[in-house]
């Protein structure tokens, strides 16, 4: 990965560089990597990378923990991108050339995840999870944010996932230190979801691409493996219990999951693949080491390209060989 | 010397058939007073309060419980017994579920009237009662089978509109309950204008305010806010300012800059030390004193217990022999933000163990479900609501004070009913759910072998028809014809009296709250069955003093 990284020293509380999150278009024409040292962009299929915070005029690196693209992002006319940074959310409408900063209420919260409505262009809804202050919600494309934590009894939020049918069902799930919470009103209020393993930290979540019909939810825990519910979170079973013992840091489902049953999981720092909706798992052959983030912009199928972020800040491409 | 009682006040023993006839007169009178309030287009009962040393504005009532409550005596003493019995049933229903009193009244009256008719023909009251109670259980089971869940803003709005009959209020209550849920905290206050409005407050707040105005730092908002604050929670009284030094020392060593001291009382000199330290102190510690929430010792303990779970730390209690001398860092709770004004204390983002908080709330919910005392349930509801992470305030509007009082009362009753609906589900409204029990009752009639059993199911058949019949009468329809039309339809089909057509009540959003219907029916039928077994009434020589003064 070639890049123009900053030589400035990192604040003490941040580890050495790593990739927290990735975002990109299906053709890999534009990719973003949220890293300890800032937000980076590639416009050449991930061959070269450059920092996109230059226009902010700040000298210190700005650790970026999350990044999301608007669903209509095409790199040309529609270029909304949002990133989560300590104490706020940055918003760009020109693909990262210029940024608008929104400072979230003091004391400054640490943004852990962003979730954007599939209907963002119309409804303008985007949510920011924080590790100590619960969930912030914006309904005007990220211009203004307000905390909406009704019923969210645990404000230490690690991950967020949004229903593909959000425009109709307004459903979201939040993974927190003590389990999972669900909102059915677009993130304005939250209700507890009881897990079969008790109050366990949930660090990753994924909804089936056909969630409004099949109600399938996956929850990755820190120490209790991967949980799956096929009834909208009412009952849960452990999936792949024989293999999955490490923290499930990320879960990706194939866009055609309902037919292919293919999914990827980032277990601790290695990539694993399942082709039967999580019942059996195999480590991705020739997968990179020390993986911290993964993105499958082209789905999970033979020959599809994965974007893999690693410790140290590297981002590499790998073709899936199923 | 006591005056000689009038003829109607004299001691008297009454036997059958006068007992049943007399009680029925009273029950009918009470039911007739309440009957007009049943349905979506209720008429108002005006309670005349103009008589007396200071004439008051007449009270407008559309709530059967309150109407019954206002009727404190009927001159016909045989009738009075029946009326007061029903009055008690209605008030109990009103207290328990906030609604359903008109349904209870008409079901009670229908059951009692049909029962009296059967007993007059020579039936056995005790056996009849047993079969009525058995039939009641079957009706309740049928209602359980028809119960559906209500969720989402749209469904809640439709339900609230049905309950309040006010689209504007219904819309706001639908939104509020979609956000706060069944246990959420809702305050209903009188607003400034004609219209309704709402406000959401983040975090938890209690009724303990700052111990002194000198502790206010934000003068314009008349409150003080702390960030990443340590929280000392105690029911101790702090007299000597030197008692605070160990607390300050612990905080300074830990690098804490904001401290909230929640205590029962703090002397002026101790408060002065907080102010001095804030304004001119060498150590950088912004400390404020807040009154421990609650008036009684037990209420304070409960509030402290909840705050401890929310923020972590430990409550220092007088009863445990705690003092401030040995305060440790682990005794202090933590909060991302804390605010206090003259009246309240709010905590946003308590740093206690979230698992412990969820377990604590789950425990409180379990206790709530098993609690039977209304006051206990109210207190538990409030405690759970405070811990849910936010609260809502509904401002009710109105041009006159009477209108505003009425709207506030209506909103309060509706909010109780909404909580019940979310918790226990809903039934097809407009009396359709009870009509849906008719086929089961008809089957039981066909299967009955004893005459009392058959009679009981016939009586219950009349009773379950009574709400729909009354509703139709109240809205100007001929009940016989429409009830005939509804004889062979499913349990979810009823007559929409507003649209004037037979419809699927659930789909049309015409819903009743399961717990309200069940409570009303249970109270009405079991009380009427018991009343039917009353054979003799002994009237006292004079009405109780409480009723004559």
Q: Is A169 on the interface with B (CB under 8 A)?
A: no
pLDDT at A2: 39
| Binary contact (B355, A107; C-beta < 8 A) | no
Close Cβ partners of A86 (under 8 Å, ≥ 6 residues apart)? A62, A63, A65, A108, A110, A111
Please report whether residue B48 resides in a domain.
Answer: yes
Last residue of a domain, one of B352, B381, B401: B352
Which residue in B has a C-alpha nearest to residue A178's C-alpha? B355
Per-residue buried b or exposed e for B292-328, using 16+ beta carbons within 10 Å of the residue's own CB: bbbeeeeebbbbbebbbbbbbbbbbbeeeebebeebe
Residue B393 has pLDDT above 50, yes or no: yes
Q: Residue A221, Cα to own-chain centre: how many angstroms?
A: 15
| Binary contact (B180, A150; C-beta < 8 A) | yes
Q: What is the mean pLDDT of residues B322-333?
A: 94
Q: Are residues B139 and B21 in the same domain?
A: yes
Q: Are residues B136 and B216 in the same domain?
A: no
Q: Tell me, what DSSP letter sits at residue B34?
A: H
B358 CA: distance to closest CA in chain A (Å): 7
Residues of chain A with pLDDT under 70: 1-15, 322
Please report whether residue A96 resides in a domain.
Answer: yes
A127 CA: distance to closest CA in chain B (Å): 17
Q: Is A201 on the interface with B (CB under 8 A)?
A: no
pLDDT at B52: 64
Higher pLDDT: A242 or B488? It is A242
Instruction: Return the number of CB contacts < 8 Å for A and B.
Output: 71
CATH number at residue A104: 2.130.10.10
Q: Are residues B105 and B22 in the same domain?
A: yes
Q: What is the pLDDT of residues A59-102, one digit of tens each?
A: 889 999 999 999 999 989 999 999 999 999 999 999 999 999 99
Residue B325 has pLDDT above 50, yes or no: yes
Q: Are residues B319 and B446 in the same domain?
A: no
Please report whether residue A321 resides in a domain.
Answer: no
pLDDT at B380: 93
pLDDT at A6: 40
pLDDT at B163: 78
Number of domains in chain B: 2
A136 CA: distance to closest CA in chain B (Å): 12
CATH number at residue B235: 3.50.7.10
Please report whether residue A50 resides in a domain.
Answer: yes
Q: What is the pLDDT of residues B423-438, one digit of tens each?
A: 889 999 889 999 999 9
Whole-number Å distance between alpha carbons of A226 and A307 = 22
Q: Are residues B336 and B449 in the same domain?
A: no
Name the pLDDT band for B549 (thresholds 50, 70, 90). Answer: very low
Which region among A42-46, B328-332, B359-363, B395-399 has the lowest average model confidence (pLDDT)? B395-399
Q: Is A238 on the interface with B (CB under 8 A)?
A: no
User: Chain A residues with CB inside 8 Å of B390's CB?
Assistant: 149-151
Task: Output the CA–CA distances (angstroms, integers) from residue A152 to A146, A203, B156, B385, in the order listed.
Answer: 14, 16, 21, 12
| Binary contact (A189, B355; C-beta < 8 A) | no
Last residue of a domain, one of B352, B373, B406: B352
Residue B545 has pLDDT above 70, yes or no: no
Last residue of a domain, one of B300, B327, B352: B352
Q: What percentage of chain B has pLDDT greater than the value 70? A: 95
| Binary contact (A177, B355; C-beta < 8 A) | yes
Task: Output the CA–CA distances (angstroms, integers) from residue A298 to A114, A317, B317, in the order listed.
Answer: 21, 12, 61
To test the contact with chain A by mutation, choose from B354, B385, B392 the residue with the greatest count of A C-beta atoms within 10 A, namely: B354
| Binary contact (B181, A189; C-beta < 8 A) | yes
The answer to whether A28 touches A47, Cβ cutoff 8 Å, is no
Number of domains in chain A: 1
Please report whether residue A266 resides in a domain.
Answer: no
User: Chain B residues with CB inside 8 Å of A151's CB?
Assistant: 180-181, 184, 388-390
**Coil, strand or helix at B158:** helix
Please report whether residue B284 resides in a domain.
Answer: yes
Q: What is the pLDDT of residues A116-145, one digit of tens each?
A: 999 999 999 999 999 999 999 999 999 999
Q: Residue B546: beta bridge partners?
A: none
Task: Output the CA–CA distances (angstroms, integers) from residue B488 to A190, B439, B442, B447, in the order listed.
Answer: 43, 9, 12, 20
Sheet with A226-229: list strands edge to edge. Answer: A202-207, A217-221, A226-229, A237-239
Q: What integer best gives the mean pLDDT of chain B?
A: 89
Q: Is A93 on the interface with B (CB under 8 A)?
A: no
Close Cβ partners of B165 (under 8 Å, ≥ 6 residues apart)? B40, B41, B42
Range of the domain at B296: 206-352
Residue B24 has pLDDT above 50, yes or no: yes
Please report whether residue A273 resides in a domain.
Answer: no
Please report whether residue A102 resides in a domain.
Answer: yes
A178 CA: distance to closest CA in chain B (Å): 6
User: Chain B residues with CB inside 8 Å of A182's CB?
Assistant: none
Name the pLDDT band for B4 (thresholds 50, 70, 90). Answer: low
Please report whether residue A204 resides in a domain.
Answer: yes
Residue B35 has pLDDT above 80, yes or no: yes
CATH number at residue B503: 1.10.560.10
Q: Is B357 on the interface with A (CB under 8 A)?
A: yes
Please report whether residue A278 resides in a domain.
Answer: no
Q: Is B280 on the interface with A (CB under 8 A)?
A: no
Q: Are residues B144 and B210 in the same domain?
A: no
Range of the domain at A149: 19-256
Q: Are residues B228 and B345 in the same domain?
A: yes
Whole-number Å distance between alpha carbons of A280 and A273 = 8
């Amino acid at each position: 990965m070639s890049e123009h990284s900053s030589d400035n020293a990192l604040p003490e509380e941040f580890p050495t560089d790593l990739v927290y999150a990735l975002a990109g278009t299906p053709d890999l024409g534009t990719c973003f990597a949220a890293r300890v040292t800032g937000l980076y962009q590639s416009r050449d299929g991930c061959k070269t990378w450059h920092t996109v915070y230059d226009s902010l005029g700040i000298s210190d690196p700005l650790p970026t923990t999350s990044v999301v693209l608007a669903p209509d992002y095409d790199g040309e006319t529609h270029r909304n991108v949002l990133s989560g940074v300590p104490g706020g959310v940055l918003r760009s409408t020109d693909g990262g050339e210029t940024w608008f900063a929104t400072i979230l209420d003091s004391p400054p919260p640490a943004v852990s995840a962003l979730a954007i409505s599939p209907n963002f262009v119309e409804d303008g809804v985007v949510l920011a999870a924080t590790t100590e202050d619960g969930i912030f919600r914006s309904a005007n494309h990220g211009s203004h944010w307000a905390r909406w934590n009704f019923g969210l009894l645990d404000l230490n939020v690690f991950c967020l996932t949004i229903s593909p049918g959000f425009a109709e069902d307004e459903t979201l799930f939040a993974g927190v230190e003590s389990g999972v919470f669900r909102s059915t009103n677009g993130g304005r209020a939250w209700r507890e979801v009881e897990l079969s393993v008790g109050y366990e930290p949930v660090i990753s979540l994924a909804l089936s691409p056909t969630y409004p019909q099949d109600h399938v939810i996956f929850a990755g825990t820190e120490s209790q493996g991967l949980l799956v519910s096929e009834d909208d979170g009412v009952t849960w079973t452990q999936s792949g219990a024989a293999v999955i013992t490490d923290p499930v840091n990320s879960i990706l489902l194939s866009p055609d999951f309902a037919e292919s049953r293919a999914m990827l999981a980032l277990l601790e720092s290695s990539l694993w693949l399942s082709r039967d909706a999580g019942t059996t798992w195999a480590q991705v052959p020739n997968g990179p080491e020390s993986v911290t983030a993964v993105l499958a912009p082209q789905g999970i199928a033979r020959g599809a390209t994965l974007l893999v972020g690693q410790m140290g800040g590297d981002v590499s491409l790998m073709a899936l060989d199923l | 010397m006591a005056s000689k009682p009038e003829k109607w006040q004299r001691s008297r023993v009454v036997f059958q058939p006068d007992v049943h006839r007399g009680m029925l007169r009273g029950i009918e009178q009470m039911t007739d007073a309440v009957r007009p309030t049943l349905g979506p287009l209720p008429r108002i009962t005006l309670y005349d309060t103009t008589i007396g040393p200071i004439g008051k504005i007449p009270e407008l009532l559309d709530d059967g419980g309150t109407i019954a409550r206002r009727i404190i005596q009927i001159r016909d003493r045989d009738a009075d017994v029946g009326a007061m019995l029903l009055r008690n049933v209605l008030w109990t229903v009103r207290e328990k579920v906030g609604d359903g009193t008109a349904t209870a009244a008409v079901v009670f009256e229908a059951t009692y009237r049909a029962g009296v008719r059967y007993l007059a023909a020579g039936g056995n009251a005790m056996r009849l009662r047993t079969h009525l109670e058995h039939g009641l259980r079957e009706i309740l089971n049928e209602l359980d089978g028809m119960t559906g869940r209500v969720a989402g803003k749209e469904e809640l709005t439709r339900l609230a509109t049905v309950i309040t009959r006010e689209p504007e209020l219904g819309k706001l209550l639908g939104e509020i309950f979609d956000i706060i849920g069944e246990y959420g905290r809702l305050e209903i206050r009188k607003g400034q204008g004609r219209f309704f409005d709402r406000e959401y407050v983040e975090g938890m707040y209690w009724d303990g305010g700052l111990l002194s105005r000198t502790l206010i730092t934000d003068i314009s908002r008349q409150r003080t806010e702390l960030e990443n604050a340590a929280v000392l929670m105690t029911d101790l009284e702090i007299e000597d300012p030197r008692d605070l030094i160990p607390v300050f020392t612990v905080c300074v060593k830990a690098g804490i800059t904001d401290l909230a001291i929640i205590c029962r009382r703090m002397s002026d000199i101790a408060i002065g030390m907080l102010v001095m330290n804030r304004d001119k102190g060498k150590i950088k510690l912004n400390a404020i004193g807040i009154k421990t929430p609650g008036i009684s010792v037990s209420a304070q303990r409960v509030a402290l217990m909840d705050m401890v779970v929310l923020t972590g730390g430990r409550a220092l209690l007088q009863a445990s022999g705690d003092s401030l001398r040995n305060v440790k860092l682990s005794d202090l709770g933590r909060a991302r933000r804390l605010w206090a004004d003259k009246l309240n204390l709010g905590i946003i983002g308590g740093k206690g163990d979230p698992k412990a908080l969820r377990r604590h709330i789950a425990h409180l919910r379990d206790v709530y479900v098993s609690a039977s005392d209304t006051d206990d349930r109210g207190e538990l509801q409030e405690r759970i609501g405070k811990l849910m992470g936010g609260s809502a305030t509904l401002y009710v509007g109105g041009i006159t004070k009477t209108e505003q009082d009425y709207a506030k009362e209506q909103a309060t009753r509706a909010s109780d009913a909404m909580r019940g609906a979310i918790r226990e589900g809903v039934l097809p409204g407009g009396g359709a759910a009870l009509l849906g029990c008719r086929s089961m009752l008809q089957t039981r009639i066909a299967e009955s072998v004893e005459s009392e059993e058959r009679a009981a199911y016939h009586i219950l058949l009349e009773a379950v028809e009574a709400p729909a019949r009354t509703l139709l009468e109240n809205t100007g329809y001929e009940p016989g014809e429409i009830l005939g039309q509804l004889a062979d339809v499913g349990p979810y089909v009823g007559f929409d009296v507003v649209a004037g057509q037979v419809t699927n009540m659930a789909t049309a959003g015409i819903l009743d709250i399961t717990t309200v219907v069940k409570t009303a029916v249970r109270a009405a039928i079991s009380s009427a069955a018991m009343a039917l077994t009353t054979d003799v009434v002994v009237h006292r020589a004079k009405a109780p003093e409480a009723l004559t003064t």
